[in-house]
Amino acid sequence: MYSKILILRFPKDIVHKPLVCSLVRDFDLTFNILNATVFPRQEGLMVLELYGNKKNFRQGVNYLKDHGVSVQNAEQEVKRDEKKCTHCGACTAVCPTGALYIIRPEMTVQFDQKKCSVCELCVPACPTRVMKVRPTNHLFFE
pLDDT in tens, 105-133: 999 999 998 888 788 889 999 999 999 98
If we measure between CA atoms, which residue out of 118, 128, 133, 132 comes closest to residue 88?
128
Please write the tens of the pLDDT for every residue from 74-108: 777 899 999 999 999 999 999 988 999 999 999 99
Its pTM stands at 0.59
Determine which helix (DSSP H) or strand (DSSP E) holds 70, and give its type and residue range: strand 70-73
If we measure between CA atoms, which residue out of 72, 80, 85 comes closest to residue 118?
80
Cα separation, 97 vs 141, whole angstroms: 33
Class of domain 78-132: alpha beta
Domains 2-73 and 78-132 share a fold: yes
Domain boundaries, the chain: 2-73, 78-132
Give residues with Cβ within 8 angstroms of 86, minimum separation 6: 127, 128
Class of domain 2-73: alpha beta
Q: Are 34 and 47 in contact (CB under 8 A)?
A: yes
